[in-house]
Amino acid sequence: MPRTLERQLVTPEGVPLNLRLGSAGARAGAFVIDAIIMLAALIGASLLILALAIGGPRGAASMYAVVWLLGFFLLRNFYFVLFEAGKRAATPGKRLMKLRVVSRDGGRLTGSAVLARNLMREIEIFLPLIFLAFAFAEGMATAWTATLALGWSSILLFLPLFNRDRLRGGDLIGGTWVVERETRKLGEDLLVQTAHEQDRARIAPFTAAELDTYGAFELQRLEEVLRRNDRADLYAVATAIRRKLGRQEEGYDHAFLEAYYGALRHHLERKLLFGQRKRDKYDRIEAS
């Protein structure tokens, strides 16, 4: 297990964002805060329902009990869903602990992912504890019952401590991370992303003759250079390609290479559809 919680999330646009996973202590603290808020809401709703039941008609106690059970189910599940599906992607507890939920694939956090990760909490924590509470209430609890319920909850509750990305069961199913909400670092990454997009907008479109200069071999090498993202390599390769194409642009090497890579790949794939393959820069386009 790595000692660091630093991770790099790559957006669908190919822009890397540096993130830090939420620690186990921060996540536990957020859950405790949310649990206190939920408990306060449950106590308030219970007192209101009790007052209505006492002052209501006879025989309505069972109906109020059903309403209480339904409200308790909605509270413990959709409290998390509603807050995490919002713009902040965080419950009040997570906001106080400076945490938020993100998608591990770098895309937008979807409602289905939020729903999946939070409904799993019902299986992880609430169902075993509710089962145990009813067993004690009915006098059916045994040592084995208590051990099974507490063991089940403990295994899933402490799961984030035993995997490198601090994932609970809901995160595994929903494809999510809980990360620190560091406004400064995320702001810097977004500024880099905006500058990167502006750099790409300055690059003139490539002509067919420029794209015919290289072949599939050079395309693969260019992809490797972009993946390594080494500044010296980017500068050397961008300078060589500009010289070969007769271009005069200077600077924004990464954006230039990304633009040329995308255009060259599309160009070669389109040629291949017509049976024309160019293996490398020394190869003439030939019909296959």
Q: What pLDDT shows up at residue 99?
A: 93
Mean pLDDT of the region 142-162? 69
DSSP label at residue 285: P
Rounded Cα–Cα distance for residues 169 and 121 (Å): 8
Q: What pLDDT shows up at residue 53?
A: 74
Mean pLDDT of the region 140-168? 70
What SS3 state is found at 221? helix
**Structure confidence by residue, pLDDT tens digits, 89-140:** 899 999 999 999 988 887 778 889 999 888 888 777 777 666 666 656 555 5
Rounded Cα–Cα distance for residues 50 and 65 (Å): 9
Q: How many CB atoms lie within 10 A of CB 91?
A: 26
pLDDT of 180 higher than 90 = no
pLDDT of 8 higher than 70 = yes
DSSP letters along 226-273, please? Answer: HHHT-HHHHHHHHHHHHHHHT----S-HHHHHHHHHHHHHHHHHHHHH
| pTM of this structure | 0.55
What SS3 state is found at 189? helix
Find out whether 257 and 219 touch, Cβ atoms under 8 Å: no
What SS3 state is found at 107? coil
Which is more confidently placed, 288 or 277?
A: 277
Place of tokens 């015919």: 212
pLDDT of 191 higher than 90 = no
Which tokens in the block code for residue 160?
Answer: 């984030």
DSSP label at residue 207: P
Find out whether 22 and 97 touch, Cβ atoms under 8 Å: yes
Mean pLDDT of the region 45-63? 75
Run of H or E including 69: helix 61-84
Lowest average pLDDT, out of 70-79, 81-90, 266-275, goes to 266-275
Place of tokens 């559809």: 273
Q: Based on the number of CB atoms within 10 Å of its own CB, is 222 exposed (0-12), middle (13-18) or buried (19 or more)?
A: buried
DSSP letters along 117-143, please? Answer: HHHHHIIIIIHHHHHHHHHHHTT---H
pLDDT of 75 higher than 50 = yes
Please report the beta strands in the chain, taking only residues with DSSP state E, as ranges in sequence order: 6-10, 16-20, 99-103, 176-180, 276-277, 286-287
Confidence category of residue 36, pLDDT binned at 50, 70, 90:
very high
Q: What percent of the chain has pLDDT over 90?
A: 10
Find out whether 224 and 234 touch, Cβ atoms under 8 Å: no
Which is more confidently placed, 222 or 191?
A: 222
Q: What pLDDT shows up at residue 12?
A: 58
